């Protein structure tokens, strides 16, 4: 566990040496503020739910910017060999890097507390949906970062890793948002696709609801893509 946390700390520190990290931070802060200003105004409910629902779509393009360098940069710089020959397992490496990216993501969404302060200043928000909404954002971010971690183990090209991550995320968002609306899809498949839709799973958190199935969905998705990342890393070890 100590070695995993060491890798996480190393990854978090290295992210702040990357220019793309500051671009992601700036774009997220700007995008979240614009969404807040468009959704919040006089005679509007004192809630962050509309902003959370907008941020979910914003994350599709911004979160891959965090994960695209996790392993791709190690491949490109040739630093993956010392890392893989150190006395630490591939699983610890993958989880450590994912945890480092998660820590950065937590810092990324921290400015949302400013919007909560503005909401409190102008109204009396219900903190239940705010807290569950933030928990949901962390779970969605963890899922997207797990996808990005896997994509980053596949290639040394960060741009390719970025687009592979965006493509996979779009399968879980846009495709599963529009496809169930098609007339040729029967009710059974429609329910299955809705369950696999990230936005559908996040909707309960935004409403202030806690459902065990939502946690199972995100934890399963995170575990799946981190497992795929470990398998990919192991395959490269033996080449």
How far lies 87's CA from each of 3, 4, 42, 135, in Å? Answer: 9, 11, 59, 34
Task: Report how far residue 125's alpha carbon sits from residue 169's, in angstroms, rounded to the nearest whole number.
Answer: 31
Q: Does residue 116 fall inside a structural domain?
A: yes
Q: List the single range of 111-125, 129-143, 159-173, 199-213 with lowest mean pLDDT.
A: 111-125
**CB distance 139 to 215 below 8 Å:** yes
Residue 123 has pLDDT above 70, yes or no: no
Tell me what pLDDT residue 143 has: 97
Mean confidence (pLDDT) of the chain: 84
Q: 64: pLDDT confidence band, cut at 50, 70 and 90? A: very high
Domain that holds residue 156: 2-234
Task: Report how far residue 147's alpha carbon sits from residue 154's, in angstroms, rounded to the nearest whole number.
Answer: 11
Q: Does residue 229 fall inside a structural domain?
A: yes
Q: Does residue 239 fall inside a structural domain?
A: no
Mean pLDDT, residues 145-174 taken together: 93
SS3 209: coil
* Number of structural domains found in the chain: 1
Q: List the single range of 112-121, 159-168, 216-225 with lowest mean pLDDT.
A: 112-121
Q: Does residue 204 fall inside a structural domain?
A: yes
Residue with tokens 């490496």: 93
Mean pLDDT, residues 216-230 taken together: 95
Q: Which residue has the higher pLDDT, 44 or 236?
A: 236
Q: Does residue 118 fall inside a structural domain?
A: yes
**Tell me: the pLDDT tens digits for 181-220?**
666 666 777 677 777 889 888 988 888 888 899 999 999 9
Task: Report how far residue 62's alpha carbon sits from residue 134's, in angstroms, rounded to the nearest whole number.
Answer: 17
């Amino acid at each position: 566990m100590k070695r995993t946390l060491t890798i996480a700390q190393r990854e978090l520190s290295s992210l702040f040496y990357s220019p793309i990290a500051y671009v992601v931070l700036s774009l997220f802060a700007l995008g979240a503020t614009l969404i807040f200003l468009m959704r919040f105004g006089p005679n509007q409910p004192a809630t962050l739910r509309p902003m959370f629902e907008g941020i979910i779509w914003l994350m599709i393009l911004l979160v891959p910017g965090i994960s695209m360098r996790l392993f791709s940069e190690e491949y490109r710089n040739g630093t993956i060999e010392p890392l893989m020959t150190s006395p630490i397992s591939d699983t610890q490496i993958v989880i450590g890097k994912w945890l480092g990216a998660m820590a950065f993501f937590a810092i990324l969404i921290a400015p949302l507390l400013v919007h909560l302060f503005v909401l409190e200043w102008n109204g009396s928000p219900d903190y239940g949906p705010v807290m569950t909404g933030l928990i949901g954002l962390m779970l969605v971010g963890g899922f997207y970062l797990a996808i990005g971690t896997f994509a980053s183990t596949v290639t040394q090209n960060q741009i390719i890793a970025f687009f592979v991550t965006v493509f996979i995320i779009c399968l879980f968002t846009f495709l599963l948002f529009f496809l169930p609306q098609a007339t040729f899809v029967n009710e059974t498949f429609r329910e299955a696709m809705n369950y696999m839709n990230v936005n559908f799973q996040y909707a309960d958190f935004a409403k202030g609801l806690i459902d065990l199935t939502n946690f199972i969905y995100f934890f399963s998705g995170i575990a799946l893509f981190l497992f795929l990342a470990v398998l990919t890393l192991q395959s490269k070890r033996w080449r």
